[in-house]
Structures are given as structure tokens and as C-alpha cells.
Amino acid sequence: MIFLLSIPGIFIALFAHELGHYLVARVAGVGVSQIRIGLGPRVFSYHIGGCEIVFAPLPLGASTSYKEACSGIKARFIAAAGPAASFLVGVLAFAYSGISLQADSIDLSPVLGSPWSGASLMLSVVSLAIAGFNVLPIRPLDGAAIVTGRFESLTASRGSELHLFWILTTIIAIILTLWFAWRL
């Protein structure tokens, strides 16, 4: 059951991360043209505030496309907003899971007794992993934009490199998540 609930959890974690970028970009006056959650063909999409939000079937990454180039402190804040949102979701989901941390032990009984607590723990792990992974200062991750203070524009060749990067890293993250879910 936890496995079945972890797939929507990955989509929630990806959406929360991209929503962090979107909200801070809007506050900073930077237009957002598209938020894409998942890879593959478009399953459905909708528009909000001039931004198209696209959902695809495979939770193998997400991206936000901006209407204009951005650099400096604005770029750093926008880039940091995604990992910050992921961290916040991770902490809130962990708190909802009901796990109690003691100085000498961890009580996992809430997770073992409830699929929703287990799903919360999975959402927490995925969100915190997304946050931690994205602050690495490697392009195309958010950490590179935080360090350099600029976003790179995606050409067709960079876009295919980006998709390959996301596919490989997300497969690794999903394998680790499923392994963790199996161990519960």
C-alpha cells in the first residue's frame, strides 16, 4: 500500500518544488511561462496567471520555464525557493507521519500501523532528497543558479541533455525510494 501511495507523493514533491520557484518568481516580477511536472506526453494541463502547468505520466523530473532571463539576487532567490519549498514539505510531512524521535531511539510504530503515516514518511524522504540534491552546485540544478546568480537558457541540445540528466538521477531516486518503502 505504501508503494502505491509513494507515486503520487513523488508528483506532490515535484509540484511543491516547482511551485516554490513559481511563487518567488512572481513576487520578484519574473514571468513564468510553464511548469512541467513529469516526463513524457502531456496528460493534462491548465493555465494559471499566464503560466501553463503541464503534467506528464512519468515522475522523472520537473522544470520551470521563465519568460525572461534573470540574474543576480533575483535569480538566487528564485533558485533557492524550490529547495526551500521541498525542505518545508519534507519537514511538514515528517511531522504528520507521527514518528517520534527520542535521544536513544526512533518510534516507527505509527508508520507500521497506518498507510497514510507511511505515505507521509515517503513524501518527507522524497521532498528532503529533492531539496538536498537540488542545492548541489551542478548545472542544471538549482545550486548552480544559487552560486552563479543566473539561469541558463535551454537550447534544444541543452534541453535533451537536461532530460537525460533528470531521467538518470530520478531513476536513482525512485530506486532508493522504493527500496526504502519495501523495507517498511
Query: Mind listing the pLDDT tens digit of every residue in the chain (184 residues)?
Result: 556 667 888 899 999 999 999 999 999 999 999 999 988 899 999 998 889 999 998 887 888 988 888 888 999 999 999 999 999 999 999 888 888 777 677 777 776 777 778 788 888 888 999 999 889 888 778 888 899 888 764 433 445 555 666 666 667 777 777 776 666 5
Domain range for 142 is: 2-183
CB atoms within 10 A of CB 179: 9
What is the number of domains present in the chain?
1
Going from the C-alpha of 44 to that of each of 1, 4, 12, 40, the distances in angstroms are: 26, 21, 15, 12
Residue 85's closest CA among 39, 18, 132, 149?
Answer: 18
Matching residue, cell 505504501 = 2
CB atoms within 10 A of CB 135: 21
Task: State the first-to-last Cα distance of the chain, in angstroms, to the nearest integer.
Answer: 11
Pairing of β 58-66 and β 32-39: antiparallel
Q: How far apart are CA 81 and CA 113, in angstroms?
A: 34
Going from the C-alpha of 107 to that of each of 14, 100, 144, 173, the distances in angstroms are: 28, 5, 37, 25
Question: Could you tell me the pTM of the whole model?
Answer: 0.80
